[in-house]
Amino acid sequence: MNKNNKIAYIGLSADILHEGHINIIKKASKFGKVVVGLLTDRAIATYKAIPTLNYKQREIILKNIKQVSKVLPQHTLDYRPNLNLIKPNFVLHGDDWKTGVQKKTRTQVILTLRKWGGQLIEPKYSKGISSSLIKSRVMNLNTPTNRVSILKRLLNSKKIIRVLESHSALSGLIAENIEVKRYKKIENFDAMWSSSLTDSSVKGKPDNQSLDFSSRFSGIGDLMDVTTKPLIFDADNGGRLEHIPFTIRTLERLGVSAIMIEDKVGLKKNSLFKDQSGAKQDTIKDFCKKIELIKKTRNSKNFLIGARIESFILGKGLQDGLRRAKAYSEAGADLILIHSKEKNPKEIFSFSKIFRTKKYYKPLVSVPSTYSKTTESTLEKNGFKIVIYANHMLRAAYPAMQNVAKTILKNQRSFELESKISSVKEVINLIK
């Protein structure tokens, strides 16, 4: 069999095409017709941030490289479905996957190729260059317009989106960079949450809308300067109807991806307070006016509108929540947050079971502050698309700072703290 009858398969994400990609494509072309298994956005999102370019854009680029004969979607990190489909004579991959998270995938490829006598070829990995590295270098080119769209793309790419409250630029840097290895998979946060509770608490003010939006916008600007991940803005009830256009235009200019408004009226009372006496829910008609105005005002459909339903909080029950979800969805809400202060998720799961079967369904958001034993996988299985850890960073910081202050007072020095707090070097290395 001559070269023209043989197939050389390459699995690529090719988010930002670079010399390493070109090198391996040229190498593959020496062995046969090059077929690229292009990872879908969803596949990439299982192990790192969603790609800068979507699947279609990356496909067009690869199809226009003369050495590439065909591009196939690779729907998972697992090569085997595509390998069994086309039975390539060769698979090419850089030798960097001999260790680390891709080691298992490599073994699967070798065993699969053996079925028809195929061969794995591993060119030396091009060190010092990768799509992730290039993306980090062009962070400052991440314009607000581009940034707004990221959350919407995440909704189409990930099974569940993990969001961390970020009340300052420093906490945002943690949300941006923190990662852990769990079951051979890298876990990180997908987005940030600007909470009215934590923003007011940082400034020493009560969570009753005493802190106006203009004050919060300044902090968001600082946060967005040092991060790249999308941000959801907690806007309480959205404020006066006349002020909404200003709020939306400002959020879009800052690069915020979504606004979340709740269907309460009057002076705010935090939903997690047991005593909700005096708290009132907006009429469906009036709340829909707010949604419709946001929809009319926003410059881009990529800026998402979240509607938070307080029916369970105020004891109105399941049917009231469902009526509101239908109306809010039809008015233009892109996300529905069904809130609960119960210690288990039973009532929100009852809501989800019915709501996600309806034609007016919109992605569901959970804030599991009270039902904290519920795992993300359980939420996802029950129809939730976004989980927001809404106040945990501030709640962690407060007792930690208290302990520092007490320890210094008790010992009249700081030595006892040194092994329990970050070194100055760690802080310096975080802020680059």
pLDDT tens digits for range 160-185: 999 999 999 999 999 999 999 888 77
Give CA–CA dist 385/380, Å, rounded: 6
101 phi and psi angles, rounded to 5 deg: -65, -20
The catalytic residues are: 207
Phi, psi (degrees; rounded to nearest 5) at 376? -60, -40
pLDDT at 1: 45
Whether 337 and 260 have beta carbons less than 8 Å apart is answered as yes
| DSSP secondary structure of 8-43 | EEEEE--SS--HHHHHHHHHHHTTSEEEEEEEPHHH
DSSP for residue 140: G
As given in the structure block, the two tokens for residue 135 are 């993306």
Give the per-residue pLDDT at 133. Answer: 55
Taken in order of first residue, the domains within the chain and their CATH numbers are: 3-133 (3.40.50.620), 139-390 (3.20.20.60), 396-430 (no CATH)
For residue 137, give both structure tokens: 């270098």
Q: Are strands 68-74 and 33-39 parallel, antiparallel or unpaired?
A: parallel
Q: If 0-12 CB within 10 Å is exposed, 13-18 middle and 19+ buried, where does residue 14 land? A: buried
Averaged pLDDT score across all residues of the chain: 91
Distances (CA, A) of 353 to 307, 324, 419: 18, 16, 48
Task: Give residue-wise pLDDT tens across range 270-314.
Answer: 777 666 666 799 999 999 999 999 999 999 999 999 999 999 999
Distance CA 199, CA 14 (A): 39
Going by their DSSP bridges, the two strands 264-265 and 280-281 should be labelled as: antiparallel
Q: How far is CA 389 from the centre of its chain?
A: 12
* C-beta contacts of 23-28 below 8 A and 24+ residues apart: 23/123, 23/126, 24/92, 24/93, 24/94, 24/123, 25/65, 25/67, 25/68, 26/67, 27/92, 27/121, 27/123, 28/67, 28/90, 28/92
The residue type found at 167 is H
| Residues 185-194 pLDDT 10s | 789 999 999 9
Q: What is the pLDDT of residue 36?
A: 97
With H, G, I as helix, E, B as strand and everything else as coil, classify residue 408.
helix
| pLDDT at site 132 | 57
Q: The whole model's pTM is what? A: 0.81
- Residue 137's pLDDT is what? 47
Say how far apart CA 196 and CA 212 lie, in whole Å. 10
In tens digits, the chain (432 residues) has pLDDT values of 456 689 999 999 988 888 889 999 999 999 999 999 999 998 988 877 788 888 999 999 999 999 999 999 999 999 999 999 999 999 999 888 888 778 889 999 999 999 999 999 998 876 655 655 555 545 444 678 888 999 999 999 999 999 999 999 999 999 999 999 888 778 999 999 999 999 999 988 888 777 888 889 989 999 999 899 999 999 999 999 999 999 999 999 999 999 999 999 987 767 776 666 667 999 999 999 999 999 999 999 999 999 999 999 999 999 999 999 999 999 999 999 999 999 999 999 999 999 999 999 999 999 999 999 999 999 999 999 999 999 999 999 999 999 999 999 999 999 999 998 988 888 888 776
Q: Which residue has the tokens 């945002």?
A: 172
**Considering just the CA atoms, what is the radius of gyration of the chain in Å?**
25
